[in-house]
Chain A
Amino acid sequence: MKARAADFWSGLALGGLGAYIIVQASRWEYLGADGPGPGFFPLWYGIVMAALSLFLMISSLKEKAGERIDWSGAGRAFATWAALAVCVALLKVAGFMLCFAALTFFIVAVMYRRPIKVAATVAAAAAAAFYIVFPLALGVRLP
Chain B
Amino acid sequence: MDVLSGLMQGFAVALQPLNLLWCLVGVVLGTVVGIMPGLGPPATIAMLLPLTFLMNPASAMIMLAGIYYGAKYGGSTTSILLNIPGESASVATCFDGYQMARKGRAGAALGIAAIASFIAGTVGVLGLMLIAPPLARMALAFSSPEYFALMALGLAMVVLLAGRSMIKALLAMLVGLWLAGIGTDLFSQTSRFTFGQMELLSGVDFVVVAIGVFAIGEVLANMEGREAAKALPFPKGVRNLLPTMQDLKDSRFAFANGSIVGFLIGVLPGAGSTIASFISYGLEKAVSRRPEQFGQGVVEGVAAPEGANNAETGGALIPMLTLGIPGSSSTAVLLAALVLWGFKPGPLFIPENPALFWGLVASMYIGNLMLLVLNMPLVPLFAQVLRTPVYILYPIILGIAVIGVYSTSGSLFDVWLLAGFGLLGYLMRKLDYPSAPLILGLVLGGAMERALRQSLMMSDGSISILVSRPVSAVMLSLALLILLIPLFNKVNTWRLRALEK
- The verdict on A81 contacting B229 (CB below 8 Å), with A88-B416, A141-B410 known, is no
Give the docked Cα–Cα distance between A69 and B74 (Å). 37
Task: For the complex formed, measure the closest distance between the CB of A87 and the CB atoms of chain B, giving whole angstroms.
Answer: 8
B168–A56 touching, CB < 8 Å: yes
Nearest residue, chain B, Cβ from A143: B406
- The verdict on A49 contacting B171 (CB below 8 Å), with A107-B395, A108-B392, A126-B395 known, is yes
- The verdict on A142 contacting B403 (CB below 8 Å), with A35-B457, A126-B392 known, is yes
A130–B403 touching, CB < 8 Å: yes
Determine which of B188, B223, B391, B403 lies in contact with A140 in the assembled complex, contact meaning CB atoms within 8 Å. B403
Nearest residue, chain A, Cβ from B166: A52
CB within 8 Å of B: which A45-63 residues = 45-46, 48-49, 52-53, 55-56, 59
A141–B461 touching, CB < 8 Å: no
Q: Which of B51-59, B174-182, B370-378 forms contacts with chain A?
A: B174-182
Report the interface size for chain B: residues with CB under 8 A from the other chain.
59
A74 contacts partner chain B, Cβ-Cβ < 8 Å: yes
Q: What per-residue 1/0 map shows which CB atoms of B385-416 lie under 8 Å from chain A?
A: 00000111011101100110011001010011
Determine which of A21, A73, A130 lies in contact with B178 in the assembled complex, contact meaning CB atoms within 8 Å. A21
Nearest residue, chain A, Cβ from B396: A126
Chain A residues near B412: list those with CB within 8 A.
88, 91-92, 143
Chain B residues near A17: list those with CB within 8 A.
175, 178
A26 contacts partner chain B, Cβ-Cβ < 8 Å: no
B352 contacts partner chain A, Cβ-Cβ < 8 Å: no
Task: For the complex formed, measure the closest distance between the CB of A103 and the CB atoms of chain B, giving whole angstroms.
Answer: 6
Q: What per-residue 1/0 map shows which CB atoms of B433-456 lie under 8 Å from chain A?
A: 100000000000000010011101
CB within 8 Å of A: which B194-231 residues = 216, 219-221, 223-226, 229
Report the interface size for chain A: residues with CB under 8 A from the other chain.
64
Q: What per-residue 1/0 map shows which CB atoms of B415-428 lie under 8 Å from chain A?
A: 11011001100100
Task: For the complex formed, measure the closest distance between the CB of B178 and the CB atoms of chain A, giving whole angstroms.
Answer: 6
B167 contacts partner chain A, Cβ-Cβ < 8 Å: yes
Give the docked Cα–Cα distance between A79 and B463 (Å). 50
Grouping DSSP codes into helix (H, G, I), strand (E, B) and loop, the A interface class, with mixed when no group exceeds half, is helix
A73–B461 touching, CB < 8 Å: no
Give the docked Cα–Cα distance between A76 and B426 (Å). 12
Chain A residues near B431: list those with CB within 8 A.
6-7, 10, 69
Task: For the complex formed, measure the closest distance between the CB of B393 and the CB atoms of chain A, giving whole angstroms.
Answer: 10
In the complex, how many residue pairs between chain A and chain B have their CB atoms under 8 Å apart? Answer: 166
Chain A residues near B39: list those with CB within 8 A.
138, 140
Nearest residue, chain A, Cβ from B190: A38
- The verdict on A28 contacting B190 (CB below 8 Å), with A52-B167, A126-B395 known, is yes
Chain A residues near B461: list those with CB within 8 A.
31, 35-36
Give the docked Cα–Cα distance between A36 and B221 (Å). 42
Nearest residue, chain B, Cβ from A85: B419
A124 contacts partner chain B, Cβ-Cβ < 8 Å: no
Task: For the complex formed, measure the closest distance between the CB of B429 and the CB atoms of chain A, giving whole angstroms.
Answer: 10
Chain A residues near B406: list those with CB within 8 A.
141-143
Determine which of B192, B395, B419, B432 lies in contact with A28 in the assembled complex, contact meaning CB atoms within 8 Å. B192
B185 contacts partner chain A, Cβ-Cβ < 8 Å: yes
Chain A residues near B452: list those with CB within 8 A.
36, 40-41
Give the docked Cα–Cα distance between A42 and B224 (Å). 37
B174–A45 touching, CB < 8 Å: yes
CB within 8 Å of A: which B92-133 residues = none
CB within 8 Å of B: which A103-124 residues = 103-104, 107-108, 111-114, 122-123
B391–A56 touching, CB < 8 Å: no
B187–A38 touching, CB < 8 Å: yes
Chain B residues near A40: list those with CB within 8 A.
452-453, 456
Give the docked Cα–Cα distance between A38 and B183 (Å). 11
Task: For the complex formed, measure the closest distance between the CB of A86 and the CB atoms of chain B, giving whole angstroms.
Answer: 10
Give the docked Cα–Cα distance between A122 and B432 (Å). 34
A84 contacts partner chain B, Cβ-Cβ < 8 Å: yes
Task: For the complex formed, measure the closest distance between the CB of B154 and the CB atoms of chain A, giving whole angstroms.
Answer: 16
B407–A141 touching, CB < 8 Å: yes
Chain A residues near B423: list those with CB within 8 A.
81
B190–A111 touching, CB < 8 Å: no
Determine which of B171, B224, B396, B456 lies in contact with A73 in the assembled complex, contact meaning CB atoms within 8 Å. B224
Q: What per-residue 1/0 map shows which CB atoms of A74-98 lie under 8 Å from chain B?
A: 1011001100110010011000100
Chain A residues near B454: list those with CB within 8 A.
35
- The verdict on A134 contacting B403 (CB below 8 Å), with A37-B188, A81-B423 known, is yes
Give the docked Cα–Cα distance between A57 and B423 (Å). 23
Give the docked Cα–Cα distance between A19 and B315 (Å). 42
Chain B residues near A113: list those with CB within 8 A.
226
B501 contacts partner chain A, Cβ-Cβ < 8 Å: no
Determine which of B187, B193, B221, B416 lies in contact with A77 in the assembled complex, contact meaning CB atoms within 8 Å. B221
Chain B residues near A59: list those with CB within 8 A.
167
A112–B229 touching, CB < 8 Å: yes
Give the docked Cα–Cα distance between A28 and B189 (Å). 11
B71 contacts partner chain A, Cβ-Cβ < 8 Å: no
Give the docked Cα–Cα distance between A85 and B421 (Å). 12
B170 contacts partner chain A, Cβ-Cβ < 8 Å: yes
A3 contacts partner chain B, Cβ-Cβ < 8 Å: yes
- Interface centre among A3, A40, A59, A113, by most chain B C-beta atoms within 10 angstroms, is A40
Ordered by A's residue number, 29 sampled pairs between the chains whose C-beta atoms are within 8 Å are: A17-B175, A18-B174, A21-B178, A24-B192, A29-B190, A36-B457, A37-B187, A37-B188, A40-B452, A41-B452, A52-B167, A74-B224, A76-B226, A77-B220, A80-B220, A80-B223, A84-B398, A84-B422, A88-B418, A100-B402, A103-B395, A104-B395, A112-B226, A122-B392, A126-B399, A134-B403, A140-B39, A142-B406, A143-B402
Contacts beyond the supplied A49-B171, A77-B220, A107-B394: 5 A-B pairs with Cβ under 8 Å: A46-B178, A84-B422, A100-B395, A103-B399, A143-B406
Query: Lowest 3 A-B CB distances belong to which pairs?
Result: A73-B224, A35-B457, A104-B395
